[in-house]
Amino acid sequence: MEMIGAQAVIESLKNEGVEVVFGYPGGAVLTLYDALYKSEFPHVLTRHEQGAVHAADGYARATGKVGVCFATSGPGGTNLITGIATAYMDSVPLVAITGQVGVSLIGKDSFQEADICGITTPITKHNYLVKKVQDLPRILKEAFHIARTGRPGPVVVDISKDVFNATFDYEYPETVSLRGYSGSIIGQAADIEAAVAELKQARKPLIFVGGGVNISDTAAEFREFIQLTGFPVITSLMGLGCIPNHAEENLGMVGMHGTYAANMATTECDVLVGIGVRFDDRVTGVVNQFAPKAKILHFDIDPAEINKNVRVDLRVVGDLKWALPLLCQTIAADKTMDWKGQTAPWREQVYTWKKDQPLVYRQTPDVIMPQQVIETVSRLAGDDDIIVTDVGQHQMWTAQFYNFRSPRTLMTSGGLGTMGYGLPAAIGAQVGHPDKAVVLISGDGSIMMNCQEFATAANNGFPVKTIVMNNQVLGMVTQWQRMFYGERYSQSTLKGQTDFVKLAEAMGATGFRITKPDELEAVLRQALATEGPVLVDVQLPEVEDVLPMVPVGGRLDQMILGG
Amino acid sequence: MKYTLAVLVENRPGVLTHISGLISRRAFNIESIAAGHSEEADTTRITIDVEVDDEIELEQVVNQLSKLIDVIKIINLTHVDPIQRELVLIKVRANPVTRADIINIVDIFRAKIVDVNRETMVIELTGEQTKIDALCEVLHDYEIIEIARTGKIALSRGPIAAKDM
């Protein structure tokens, strides 16, 4: 069919089942936006390109579909960088379509020219510069295929302005042909058998579940595995929700701000099974002391994750959609094993740790404690409500004190730790799930980093509920300065004139403020029940630490405990 | 230890940058990298010598490189006793007094003189890296003006192509 490149982009998005694009127009993508206008393709206009890419990311994490964003050339593209890197670190399927200057202007330092392919190479799964309109359908087909298959990740398609205007005979390819890339990764059945043989020997097994289970939508299979074996579970930040927080086997999050039980179990276990995890340094503490008594088994789709941070004794490389059902099947078929009997003393031990050293915080009558805010939100929220966080103390308190019950209910920048991620990601999650409640837990530092997106939420009536944990400081920074820098609070105090309620109101959202503990529940209830976007400014004490904490370079069992 | 990898990649612009960029940003050390067309027009063959601590670190290099979409195949040639060659061009100061000595050295190394003028000679040598190093070492007694080396390329012996290994 005869059409111009811009129309071809829209047609290709339709062919890929894309429902919505997040973006921001500009010179190099004017023709694309014109095609968007003519075809009435759904588009969410954010107030910053960074907002667009985080929104596409939040949409992708919440739905499992590929998030798509548009930006113009040069500064439009560079404003996407933080969001692309965020998506890359957390394996989020994303296609970012950027405009590039005309072909004859490429390489001349032309107006609004930047080498987006060069800049994004280290932070994308793959990227393309499109200079010929004939290549466009194939490249878009490949881009979506690469983004969503295997270990998902962001793909950038940088399209020269000429290509949007050029006319050609459009035909969308049915298949993808990439010699060096296979999207489906089915592993070796023998590896599963070897893993089961290893598990049979275990007296102190521990299962470490990560974001891979959320990404591959295998929480049900994972829960079946735990049900069959009764093995205790620890989770990474990205793995929260794969197994309910209140499940008996769940010892909670492991690592720097992990629970006592999770960290002690890691130190004492004899077999540790990592499933869809990458053994991040925030998890392991000092690497050579991580799980020192354990054989380590690692299930992952990405062979490059094996032995990257932690040396493993046995690997199962393959899609968890393949591995976990086969694992359950193999375990269920073996009637001779008494999995729960064999590990009973160990389970008793870990449950004692869990009972004796739960996550605690001090309660004071006149001050709202941040942990209490999270617990209250958790109590008021439904099982499938989506919780989004920014980055900092509030993120860790959410991970610790929110009762996650379902997969894909936490959207957070785990790998890159991007402040400013929350609000646009919450908008994206809300677009993906218009019927679900989306609650953003942010901080007074983080929310300012993309607060312009309240305008996006308000103008579109996205009912995102934002709770600003306002302690007037960069909480995590001051915590480290308190603990490791002799209380020298260098540039970490935000106390000032900013009125968050007015900020929300100025952008068209509703604002609430909570200053006393006895208002907390009632106002939160009211806020959650209010239509449209809402911001709740919760006034918290300046000095409160996220505990437990394993200091950098420490062993997991050398935690500073709280309470 | 030093390992030799043959990396078959799509013949596309920027692919060498992707490969070398990935290796360096993952903090692995490239000793030598050489790229050129292969027997297939759409495939480029890159020979990489990489210095790593052990096989586990090498596995990381291979696995990380394998993730690049344009990488078709990576073959570790270290343990197959491959034929390894490098080409060097050396421009050395040569006057009527030293010229005969240099010609002698060139003969001993079975190198070639590819350019001569009143003040200089350009010497070409193909061989294993140690042999090239040795020639450079000897020629240091004369004044070396410049050296251009291609980096190592390697091919396994026998009838099986790397892409089929």
Residue A561 contacts B, CB cutoff 8 Å:
no
Check: CB of residue A57 under 8 Å from CB of residue A105: no
User: A538 — contact with chain B (CB < 8 Å)?
Assistant: no
Chain segment B44-62, per-residue pLDDT in tens: 999 999 999 999 999 999 9
pTM of the predicted structure, to 2 decimals: 0.96
Shortest CA gap A427–chain B (Å): 32
**3-state SS record for A168-196:** EECCCCCCCCCCCCCCCCCCCHHHHHHHH
Under 8 Å CB pairs connecting chains A and B tally to 43
Which chain A residues are closer than 8 Å to B25 by Cβ? 122
Nearest residue on chain A to B8, alpha-carbon basis: A180
10 Å Cβ neighbour count for A287?
12
For each of chain A's 563 residues, which pLDDT tens digit applies? 999 999 999 999 999 999 999 999 999 999 999 999 999 999 999 999 999 999 999 999 999 999 999 999 999 999 999 999 999 999 999 999 999 999 999 999 999 999 999 999 999 999 999 999 999 999 999 999 999 999 999 999 999 999 999 999 999 999 999 999 988 889 999 999 999 999 999 999 999 999 999 999 999 999 999 999 999 999 999 999 999 999 999 999 999 999 999 999 999 999 999 999 999 999 999 999 999 999 999 999 999 999 999 999 999 999 999 999 999 999 999 999 999 999 999 999 999 999 999 999 998 889 999 999 999 999 999 999 999 999 999 999 999 999 999 999 999 999 999 999 999 999 999 999 999 999 999 999 999 999 999 999 999 999 999 999 999 999 999 999 999 999 999 999 998 889 999 999 999 999 999 999 999 999 999 999 999 999 999 999 999 999 999 998 899 999 999 76
Residues with Cβ < 8 Å from A79, sequence gap 6 or more?
A48, A49, A50, A71
> Six-digit token pair at B108?
């001993």
A156 touching chain B per CB within 8 A: no
Burial class (CB in 10 A: 0-12, 13-18, 19+), A212: buried
Out of B17, B21, B67, closest to residue A304 by CB: B67
Closest listed residue to residue B85, CA positions, set B42, B34, B137, B12: B34
Range list of β-strands (E), A348-437: 386-389, 410-411
Q: Which of B10, B18, B66 sits opposite A121 (nearest CB)?
A: B18
CA–CA separation, A468 and A394 (whole Å): 9
DSSP A16-70: TT---EEE---GGGHHHHHHHHHHT--EEE-SSHHHHHHHHHHHHHHHSSPEEEE
Nearest CB partner across the interface for A180, out of B14, B25, B72: B72
Check CB contact of A311 with chain B, cutoff 8 Å.
Answer: yes
Strands ordered across the beta sheet of B43-51: B29-37, B43-51, B2-10, B71-76
Q: Cα distance from B63 to chain A (closest Cα, Å)?
A: 5
Whether B54 and chain A come into contact, CB under 8 Å, resolves to no
In a mutational test of the A interface, the residue from B63, B65, B75 whose CB has the highest number of chain A CBs within 10 Å is B63
What are the DSSP calls for A89-157, one per residue?
Answer: HTT--EEEEEEE--GGGTTTT-TT---HHHHHGGGSSEEEEE-SGGGHHHHHHHHHHHHHSSS--EEEE
Q: Say which DSSP state A554 is in.
A: -
Test A178 with B69 for CB contact under 8 angstroms.
Answer: yes
CB atoms within 10 A of CB B127: 18
- The verdict on a CB contact (< 8 Å) between A121 and B21 is yes
A48 touches chain B (CB under 8 A): no
| B69 CB within 8 Å of a chain A CB | yes
How far from the centroid of its chain's Cα atoms is residue B16's Cα? 15
Alpha helices per DSSP H over A383-451: 393-401, 422-432, 446-449
**From the DSSP assignment, how many helices (H) and strands (E) are in chain A?**
24, 20
Look up residue A143 and give its two tokens: 């881009």
CA A224 remoteness from chain centre: 24
Amino acid at A240: L
For residue B72, what are the contacts with CB-CB under 8 A and spacing of at least 6?
A179, A180, B8, B9, B10, B43, B163
> Which member of A122, A179, A306 has the closest CB to residue B21?
A122
Question: What CA–CA distance (Å, rounded) separates A77 from A448?
Answer: 22
Residues of A with catalytic function: 49, 111-112, 161, 476
- B136 contact partners, CB below 8 Å, separation of at least 6: B88, B90, B144, B147
Q: Is A287 touching B (CB cutoff 8 A)? A: no
In which order are the strands placed within the sheet that holds A410-411? Answer: A410-411, A386-389, A438-443, A465-470, A534-539, A510-514
Closest chain A CA to residue B55: A307
